[in-house]
Amino acid sequence: MQILETPRLIIRYFTIRDLENLSPILADPQVMEFSIIGVHNSQQIRQFIEQRLLSYIEPGFGLYALIDKQTKELIGYCGFFLQKINADREVEIGYRLATKYWGRGLATEAAQALYQYGRQKFDFKRFVCLIEPDNIRSIRVAQKLGMKLEKQIIYYGINVEMYTVNIDQF
């Protein structure tokens, strides 16, 4: 089911049929370089999709499939997930794209659309991105979204920078 459309993307729910097209993305060492889990095998990719399907039911949102309007190809994902950071529950916006789509502004385009969707549909007031300091591409996306470095934290044993934006600042 489609939830949003941008000039270049269709943003929709994942389905189990996406397994074949998502596999090369999540199995790519370049795409997964800054993933806590790392490169995914086929079982992990199936679990990833199943977790997305459950998240659409509870809490009612999640990560969404990004489809290139021109080619109709699944090119990655973008969306929300809840993070517990210290005692706070935060809404993180996350994104990953197939490498051939890097550098085109598509992660920013998707994240901007989903910011508005999250604010309007779920009344989110704040978003975070947890990013390793060496992940320059992801930092650039966060900065283009108006996010600022709030603090450095240890997340699952990894030093990350926490970028934040309040919707009224966007």
Specify the pLDDT at position 170. 43
pTM of the model: 0.93
How confident is the model at residue 156, as a pLDDT?
Answer: 87
Residue 37: its pLDDT value, please? 78
Band the pLDDT of 131: cuts 50, 70, 90: very high
Fold for the domain defined by 2-169: Aminopeptidase (3.40.630)
> pLDDT per residue over 54-103, tens digit each?
999 999 999 999 999 999 999 999 999 899 988 889 999 999 999 999 99
Confidence grade of residue 169 (pLDDT, cut at 50, 70, 90): very low
| Per-residue pLDDT at 168 | 65
> pLDDT tens for residues 132-164?
999 999 999 999 999 999 999 998 889 999 999
CA R_g for the chain: 15
pLDDT, one tens digit per residue, over 11-37 is: 999 999 999 999 999 999 999 998 877
pLDDT in tens, 40-65: 998 999 999 999 999 999 999 999 99
Every domain of the chain and the residues it spans: 2-169
Give dist(CA 167, CA 94) in Å, integer.
16
Q: Does pLDDT of 120 surpass 70?
A: yes
- What's the rounded mean pLDDT across residues 123-129? 94
